[in-house]
Amino acid sequence: MIKKKNKSNACEKARLIIREGGGMIKTSEAIQAGIHPRTLYQLRDMGDLEQISRGIYRLAEIETVSSPDLVIVATRIPISVICLICTVLP
């Protein structure tokens, strides 16, 4: 009984940390915030987290983004510049 309560407390704490961080988190950030990787996997298996890329998770409760590839790049490399070039052919 105690283990189940501890697991639910860990999951709730993890949800709160991820929500406060904007709804997305990298595994390394989660570990630094005190979230055990098992908790991430448990939340993923329960459907509360969606793994959008290797090591990047987002809360399932937040709305989906229109350009997930750009979000992945921006999450992996937060200090970066993304340049989109559009060419129009005559």
Is residue 27 one of the residues assigned to a domain? yes
Tell me: pLDDT of 1 over 50.
no
Q: Which domain holds residue 30?
A: 2-76
Number of domains in the chain: 1
Is residue 83 one of the residues assigned to a domain? no
Tell me how many degrees the CA angle 1-34-65 measures, rounded to the nearest 5: 100
- Tokens representing 83? 């340049």
Q: What is the CATH number of the domain that holds 59?
A: 1.10.10
Predicted confidence (pLDDT) per residue in 59-73, tens digit: 988 877 777 778 788
- pTM for the predicted model, two decimal places: 0.72
Is residue 89 one of the residues assigned to a domain? no
Predicted confidence (pLDDT) per residue in 5-28, tens digit: 556 788 999 999 999 988 889 999
Task: Give bridge partners of residue 25 from the DSSP assignment.
Answer: 57
Percent of the chain whose predicted confidence (pLDDT) is above 90: 40
